[in-house]
Amino acid sequence: MTKEILLIDDDAITNFVNQTIMASKFPGIPTKLFHDGAKAMEYILENPSKHFLVFLDLNMPIMSGWEFLRAMEHKKVGNHIEIHVLTSSIDPRDELETMKFPMVSSFMEKPLQESDLDELVFKEIKKNTKT
């Protein structure tokens, strides 16, 4: 199964920084950028044979991260998507609420630090050595 990283955030500078970090932490896994949840959801649904590591901002125009989570909850995507909320929110209620969605694996505060991804990198390495 092909893997891709999806960065869903409406801020171009944040996407640039995060894309650079992803390239160093996950070499060989392509990264795609989306500025709203609607286009990202469309892409995910059009590519059911891929596994996605999604880094999702909560506050965006067109379709927010909240709307994306609610919409994806009702889609048949199986275990092909792993969502990591990456937001500027420091409200503990936001973290509690996002973790109610089964596809959400973690809640991270912006700005993303390379060390934030160490556990994810370890999980990926572990998965790859099992196959």
Is the per-residue pLDDT at 131 higher than 60? no
CATH number for position 88: 3.40.50.2300
Is the per-residue pLDDT at 74 higher than 80? yes
pLDDT value, residue 126? 59
pLDDT value, residue 8? 97
Domain of residue 69 covers 2-130
Q: What is the pTM of this model?
A: 0.90
| Confidence grade of residue 16 (pLDDT, cut at 50, 70, 90) | very high
3-state secondary structure the chain: CEEEEEEECCCHHHHHHHHHHHHHHCCCCCEEEECCHHHHHHHHHHCCCEEEEEEECCCCCCCCHHHHHHHHHCCCCCCCEEEEEEECCCCHHHHHHHCCCCCEEEEEECCCCHHHHHHHHHHHHHHHHHC
When divided into structural domains, the chain yields a total of 1
For 17-49, the pLDDT digits (tens) are 999 999 999 999 999 999 999 999 999 999 989
Question: What is the percentage of the chain residues whose pLDDT exceeds 90?
Answer: 74
